[in-house]
Structure 1
Amino acid sequence: MMKQKDSGPAGGNWVPLAVTLAIQAMVSMAALTMPVMAPVAAPALGVSPTYTGLYLAIVYIGAVLASLAAGSVVKRFGAIRASQFGLLLCAAGLALCAVPSLPVVAVGAFLIGLGYGPITPASSHLLALTTPAHRMSLVFSIKQTGVPVGGMLAGALVPGAMLLIGWQGALLAVAVANVLCALVSQPLRGQLDADRQPDQPVKLGNLLQPLRLVFSHRALALLALCSFVFSTVQQSLTGYLVTYLHESLAYGLVAAGLALSVSQIGGVAGRIAWGYVSDRWMSARPTLAMLAAIMAVSGIATALLTTSMPTFLVLAVLVVFGASGIGWNGVYLAEVARQAPPGMASVATGGTLAVTFFGVVLGPPVFGAISGAWGSYRAGFAALAVPTLICCFALLRARR
């Protein structure tokens, strides 16, 4: 596997890792900004906060399409340029979401998805070339901490920003942060995009190639299908937690946002810890099976939270839920890169992520529908235990 020389400004693996982590954090913050402000923004738009699931579905429909095209885009323009495109699309989408019109917000959500989709395939392309095989899970897990870091930033900063400049001003502030990240990454483009292929075609006919690759390899197909469930859990937790704590446990918006940040801290710690465990003690699939079991227990525990519980106990449950429901991603992506044919890491990642994002498209609306039918978000969190346990058994069976 290729590795960068330890000279120049990008000596070692830390530069690709640092820049991809920062970009991942920004687009993740962009995707979660509207869900975090849902208790305020939804009434301003004339809808219920339960429609957060539909907003996320639109975001990830865009992400599905972008991830399928990401392999070709990365090959033609380079991973950094593809990431810059993504950051600017997220900024444009956030700006449109500040317009108090549901159709315009829907277009903004779709643009955010188009920006979010190519980020992980682009980073997988860079890291697969610069990371030794025995460190793959840990390095990919560290990079994927950008997702919960983005959630932490959204949970910690967006509620306070709303109090200062309103929900629309907060959206524009996050948009500016994405643009600045795109500008900061520009000096690295020449070196990190040196392998780009300017004659690589980008056309609609290539969109199904990543899915064909994934489903022609049994190991990749299993990982993709489990990621469908895991992404449902992750997005249901991050998308509905603030509203659940606010409406069912009487938390204030700032307190609920900070609780979301605590769950994201669990996700950050979990991603690094599980990457280390997978590299040193367990292979990827047993690690993912263990995480699926923890997700099931955490979903039920979250459903059983009450207003009389001490805050530290609520936060402890959310830390464990975050460590499993958010912490799985790095181990999964590293295993996808391992199982991919040589030179096809970005294509395989794009194909598996398309399935992952379908989980986000379908899962949160189903979560919202279950919660609405039962009159409580508790039902939605409890229902997450069923598919995660199925994944646990499937991964253990495949391992044997």
Structure 2
Amino acid sequence: MNASLGPLVITLAIQALVSMASFTLPVLAPEAARSIGSSASLVGLYVALIYLAAMISSLLSGRWIPRLGAIRVSQICLLSAAAGLAFAAIGTLPTMAISAVLLGAGYGPVTPASSHILARTTPANRMGFMFSLKQTGVPLGGVLAGALVPSLVNGFGWQGAVLVVGLACVVMAGIAQTTRADLDSDRRPDFRATNNPFQPLALIFAHPSIRNLALCSFVFGAMQLCLTTYLVTYLTHSYGLALVTAGLVLSLAQGGGMVGRLLWGWVGDRWLAPRRLLPLLAMAMALSSLATAAFTPSWPLAIVVLVSIFFGATAIGWNGIYLAEVARLAPAGSAGQYTGGTLFFTYFGVVAGPPTFALLTESSGSLALGYGVFGALLLVIGLMLARIAMRPVAPN
């Protein structure tokens, strides 16, 4: 492996395993709920707890990465995810709550840690694609959970399946140890962070370019979760698709997101600077959301599928190019701190977006209003980013 490929492989693998761990309980929620004697609908609260914990841990990760090293932090994340799954296997509501918090604590710092590593090891002209490729680990984790966890449940029961995924996280932490000497060579054991846990937010607000991106990522993250959370329900209730067909459309949208992450990274490296590409992605997201709001049973299914795939390519595909731009703008050696701070806003959008969407739809009785309002908001965000992109580039 060359100097940039090795770090990419290890960060991608870590990202995929932690992502798979976070998707495991939602995948087997019906089995777990039946065993515990609770409603499977509580999985929504479980996921919200994961992202609330991720908001906090991503913010704090900037204090840990310089001192411990990004690989060590990643190992702790994997072990935290494994511990979260072990608590889930106990099978009570209190331990499920502990499980979600531990999974979120492990999920939050993984991206800042990997950004710290890739910012050091990736040539500037390949950062967009490499960051985007690494970020495919998130949907890849979802694919792995969907493909493997049901079979593990059949073979070992739901609790056994949870423990197997947890064991995989432990094994990955051991594998990561083989790279620590090289990738954590920049750690500073004597690093002392301030007592203010909100320091990363102060750093971001002192850097206008990163501040603007962070605030926009709140809406991007909200839109991403609203697409994946409500699309199947919208297509079945408003467009009239069968559940299986609507699920297939969502899968195609997720696939579009994976392809989009790679495509936008490639475009950002070769054709269009990320600061100019992100406004276009925001406006494309907006148009996709507005088109989705306009779906009626008279629309041909092929058009609905194409819009959904493009919606996924933009609303799911923006992350890598965004993180590459944050890492580029951050002062040398501080990509992890700035990424952790910006992800606080991203995860906040993930937590706040679906409930806001639900309130909009409850008030009107139509999911179309939610997609329409979010689409209009993203159009404004895209125009704002386009105006910012026209300004001269400020030096770091």
TM-score range normalised by the length of the shorter chain: 0.7 to 0.9
Contact 2:283/2:383 (<8 A) preserved: no
Matches within 5 A, 1:76-95: 76-95=67-86
Indicate yes or no: 2:38 matched with 1:46.
Answer: yes
Indicate yes or no: 2:318 matched with 1:328.
Answer: yes
1:190-244 CA-to-partner distances (Å, cap 9, x unmatched) read 22112212222367x2421211110011101100011111111122333445666
Contact 2:67/2:188 (<8 A) preserved: yes
Gaps of 5+ in 1: 1-9
Q: Structure 2: which amino acid aligns with 1:347? A: Q
- Please give the alpha-carbon distance, in whole angstroms, between the structure 2 residues aligned to 1:311 and 1:38: 30
Mean Cα deviation higher: 218-227 or 127-136 = 127-136
- RMSD of aligned alpha carbons: 2.9
- Partner residue, 1:296: 286
- Partner residue, 1:120: 111
- Please give the alpha-carbon distance, in whole angstroms, between the structure 2 residues aligned to 1:33 and 1:244: 24
CA change 1:26–1:259 in 2 (3 A) is farther
CA change 1:22–1:287 in 2 (3 A) is same
Match of 2:181 among 186, 190, 199: 190
* Counterpart secondary structure, 1:384: helix
CA change 1:82–1:40 in 2 (3 A) is same
Match of 1:24 among 3, 8, 15: 15
* Counterpart secondary structure, 1:82: helix
Matches within 5 A, 1:259-338: 259-303=249-293, 314-338=304-328
Q: Structure 1: which amino acid aligns with 2:342? A: T
Indicate yes or no: 2:95 matched with 1:110.
Answer: no
- Partner residue, 1:251: 243
- Partner residue, 1:228: 218
- Please give the alpha-carbon distance, in whole angstroms, between the structure 1 residues aligned to 2:297 and 2:147: 22
Indicate yes or no: 2:203 matched with 1:213.
Answer: yes
* Counterpart secondary structure, 2:179: helix
Q: Structure 2: which amino acid aligns with 1:359? A: G
- Please give the alpha-carbon distance, in whole angstroms, between the structure 2 residues aligned to 1:308 and 1:167: 42
- Partner residue, 2:393: none
* Counterpart secondary structure, 2:317: coil
Mean Cα deviation higher: 35-44 or 178-187 = 35-44
- Please give the alpha-carbon distance, in whole angstroms, between the structure 1 residues aligned to 2:37 and 2:336: 38
* Counterpart secondary structure, 1:196: coil
Deviation at 1:97, TM superposition (A): 3.2
Deviation at 1:14, TM superposition (A): 0.2
Match of 2:53 among 39, 57, 62: 62
Indicate yes or no: 2:100 matched with 1:142.
Answer: no
Contact 2:284/2:314 (<8 A) preserved: yes
* Counterpart secondary structure, 1:75: helix
Contact 1:61/1:358 (<8 A) preserved: yes
Number of residue pairs matched? 387
1:228-278 CA-to-partner distances (Å, cap 9, x unmatched) read 1111112233344566667774424xx766654433321221111111212
Deviation at 1:125, TM superposition (A): 0.8
Match of 1:345 among 332, 335, 338: 335
1:165-185 CA-to-partner distances (Å, cap 9, x unmatched) read 555444334323322322222
Mean Cα deviation higher: 102-111 or 239-248 = 239-248
- Partner residue, 1:133: 124
Contact 1:149/1:265 (<8 A) preserved: no
CA change 1:77–1:311 in 2 (3 A) is farther
Deviation at 1:378, TM superposition (A): 4.7
Q: TM-score, normalised by structure 2?
A: 0.86
- Partner residue, 1:11: 2
Contact 1:298/1:317 (<8 A) preserved: yes
CA change 1:120–1:276 in 2 (3 A) is same
Contact 2:290/2:376 (<8 A) preserved: no
1:334-371 CA-to-partner distances (Å, cap 9, x unmatched) read 11111112221111111111111111121123234444
Q: Structure 1: which amino acid aligns with 2:145? A: A
Contact 1:25/1:150 (<8 A) preserved: yes
Deviation at 1:82, TM superposition (A): 0.6
Match of 2:346 among 353, 356, 363: 356
CA change 1:260–1:184 in 2 (3 A) is farther
Q: Structure 1: which amino acid aligns with 2:117? A: L
* Counterpart secondary structure, 1:185: helix
Match of 2:65 among 57, 63, 74: 74
Deviation at 1:314, TM superposition (A): 5.0
